[in-house]
Chain A
Amino acid sequence: MSTFTLSINRQPHTIEAPPTMPLLWAIRDLIGLKGTKYGCGMAQCGACTVHLNGTPGRSCSIPVSAAQGMEITTIEGVSEGNSHPVQMAWIQEQVPQCGYCQSGQIMAAVALLAGNPHPTDGDIDTAMNGHICRCGTYPRIRQAIKSAALMGPAKPKGK
């Protein structure tokens, strides 16, 4: 066991964990943020996606030792009150069905639009292809990303 300090949603969290523990389980079981989901444990489904220094990454396949020192953002840190354009678009287009994969989908879409405010269909496919939705909400995910793009950039989050 080792001690790690993780910066998650701009809050420091100090935990005791084996260095090989995937970030996913540190976030869920040790820190208690449960919006980030376990789906496959091998970076195939995207349900566990978080941002590491703004870049989407699969927390199930990143050891906690490698995440120390990075700014980690989870679904809980995207906005206050569902106010990010991607979240608003997700609700407007009624994307979620069971909803289990949607934290990861939203994290991918937020990162996509942050770097590419007006993505083409091809850009959307490339950014979202690592994410499985068993309910089959893909047509609405596409539409929601386009709707979010029209809403303009996310307002900077208050502290």
Chain B
Amino acid sequence: MKNQGWSKRDFLRLSGVAGAALVLGLFDTAQADEATIVKAPAPGSENIELNTWISVAETGKVTLVCHRSEMGQGIYQAIPQIIAEELEVDLAEVDVRFAQGDSRKYGSQVTGGSSTIRGSYKKLLRLSAAAREMLVEAAARRWSVPAGECQAKAGSVVHEKTAKKARYGELIADASKLPVPASPTLKKRGDYKLIGQPLVRKDSALKTNGTAVFGLDKRLPGMLFAVVERNPRLRGKVKTFDDGKALQVPGVKKVFKIRMAVFNTYREGVAVVADSTWAAMEGRKALTVEWDDTGFEHLDTETIYGRMRDLLAKDEGLTAHNQGDPNPALAAATDKLDVVYETPYQAHSCMEPLNCVSHYQGDKVEIWGPIQAPEWVQDCLTKEFGIPREKIIINLTFLGGGFGRKAFMDYPHEATVISKEMGVPIQVVWTREDDTTQGPYRPGVTYRCEGAVANGGISALKVRLAGQNNGHWMGGPKNRANGSTMEGFLRPYLKKIAHARFSDVPFETPIPTMWWRSVYASTNGFAYESFLDELAHKAGKDPLEFRKAHLEDERCLRLLEQIAEMSGWKTRKPNEGYGVAVTSCFGSTVAQVVKVSQRPESGVKIDRVWAAIDCGWYVNPDTIRAQLEGSIVMALGAATAHEITFRDGMTVPKNFDVYRMPRITDIP
């Protein structure tokens, strides 16, 4: 880590004058001997730029950094909860700040793949324990007592024998001069006071009084608002546009064509810039645009799914996994099934529509927004504008939902293109209709599942999927099977199946697709576990016992036993609608039992859902519970309520009146 212009001596002197904070900079214990101050705050400044996760002011105020995006999943609480545990500070007393985008300091900040806690917790525990040991050592030296006799407690170091006590703020200057312990002593899980507790999230209070700042809430002096008319057919260029009426709308400042980057592709749109969001929207309504989308097919949903079915009827596809030889095994089998499952395209429908504030300033760009992947935005803007990465400053706001959509770079790029043209900060706002009709979507997928049962178990399994590959859309190789073909399928099943193959039948359309919460596990899990169920029935076995018989894995078995007990699986009555499934995604395995009943007036009703999760090492059990509750509701919506359909190349549903989200009355 580099010292960026302030020597420690300068800083200490300055800090004495200004009473400002001192940063204990630790990227990692391996690099931590370089721990130093990145930037001293201007006297009286409230915006102290922190270099890593922990800073301690001389007043004793501790500030912890959240280096990933908070989009509902609770890391704004979990990261400080981890740090505070080993640092020994009172969580109620610390401030939490979002990091700026800087992957050199924080490692990857791409918030996706359920990676934040499982990817960061060891590092966070180590650096927090190292900081605590340095503070203890500083106190021990000051008091000339053995460090082993001192204790860190609630933001202070105490030496009980001599009744001495010093606040971290009093020790931080000395502590920062000490060598950083290479292998600090970590607490045992049994000694944790914070980790494992269902503590109240620190963002709760901000989210109940309207003070949490989401991307859409960011304001800058001189900022103007922009909306963009994009091709309803998702791709292509602007042929011509007429802005005569748009420019007459009060508040509209300028209308112009823009070109937006989306991974390896570009598309064009017409930007309307105004002094309020409403004026920009009204100006856009008065626009007429003629589009050129030659080269892109205008598809209907029926055509798309028909093509997938046709492919699966004849094409073996690219093999993702093979064991044994399933084709002859299936041909020779007598008890077998050949089933097709379809899952629809889905929009992310974050409650906060896409938006971003950008201020292009010639030699640098500063961004504020709901962003899941700051370093990808930096990469994109560096490539598009030729501005060095370190001059692309990404400030994170709270995200009103993300679900993968906000890991895209298109909307920050749009905002920057428009800011460059206007010379002022711009907030680009997507309407709900933009958000629903422009994608990228969770790809619709068709599965063909073939399987045979013998002696009460699966003797052969052959699964093919045809659906758009998110990797292709990003520019990845097209001659390999989709790396996510088996996502959502529990690997331990394979131990008991002699012949098994999973293949991806390549399929493309002009429709942009992208990760959607859990990505392929949500669609694959549905198809694979549905098929497991059908095979169980074919074999004449109880679906839960059938799964247990195929899962030689202690954790999976424990989960299934747990869900059986919770749901009263064994004592369920004949003709009661109980279903079970177990799937795995990004390091967590979840088993669920759903009870449904037949209602003459409304078809099937979901009466109750039981869920058990094995997520490994965890921080806040209430957050895990909340995530399970919420993902069940979201999945019930995806399974029963909404579907993105296409007609003549355009998305049919545009807003929540027809793209129906689950509501409070829809939940069990």
Contact = CB atoms under 8 A, between A and B. Distances in A.
Interface of A: 1, 18, 21-22, 25, 28-30, 32-42, 44-45, 47, 74-76, 78-79, 81-82, 87, 90-91, 94-103, 106, 124-125, 128-142
B664 A125 contact: yes
Given A75-B209, A134-B349, A99 B398 contact: yes
Nearest to A78: B209
Contacts of A29: 225, 276-278
Nearest to A1: B250
Interface of B: 70-74, 198, 200-201, 203-214, 216-217, 219, 225, 250-251, 276-279, 282, 349-353, 398-403, 429, 431-433, 622, 626-627, 629-634, 655-657, 661-665, 667
B657 A134 contact: no
Contacts of A128: 663-664
A158 B665 CA distance: 36
A103 B210 contact: yes
A102 to B, nearest CB: 5
B277 A28 contact: yes
Given A87-B209, A97-B72, A138-B663, 17 more contacts: A21-B278, A25-B278, A34-B213, A38-B429, A41-B655, A82-B208, A90-B208, A94-B198, A96-B208, A98-B350, A103-B210, A132-B351, A132-B663, A134-B350, A134-B403, A137-B630, A138-B667
Among A21, A30, A101, the most chain B Cβ lie within 10 Å of the Cβ of: A21
B208 A131 contact: no
Given A25-B276, A94-B622, A41 B432 contact: yes
A90 B400 CA distance: 17
Name the 6 nearest CB pairs between A and B, nearest first: A35-B210, A136-B633, A100-B400, A99-B207, A98-B72, A97-B72
Nearest to A79: B209
Contacts of B211: 35
A99 B657 contact: no
A141 B663 CA distance: 11
A34 to B, nearest CB: 4
A41 B284 CA distance: 15
A91 B278 contact: no
B208 A45 contact: no
A100 B354 CA distance: 13
A79 B207 CA distance: 14
B208 A98 contact: no
Contacts of B633: 133, 136, 138-139
B352 A98 contact: yes
A124 to B, nearest CB: 7
Given A129-B664, A134-B350, A138-B667, A97 B208 contact: no
B657 A42 contact: yes
Contacts of B353: 38-39
Given A96-B204, A106-B208, A124-B664, A40 B216 contact: no
Contacts of A78: 209
A129 B663 contact: yes
11 contacts: A25-B278, A75-B209, A76-B209, A90-B208, A96-B208, A97-B73, A129-B664, A131-B664, A135-B351, A135-B634, A137-B630
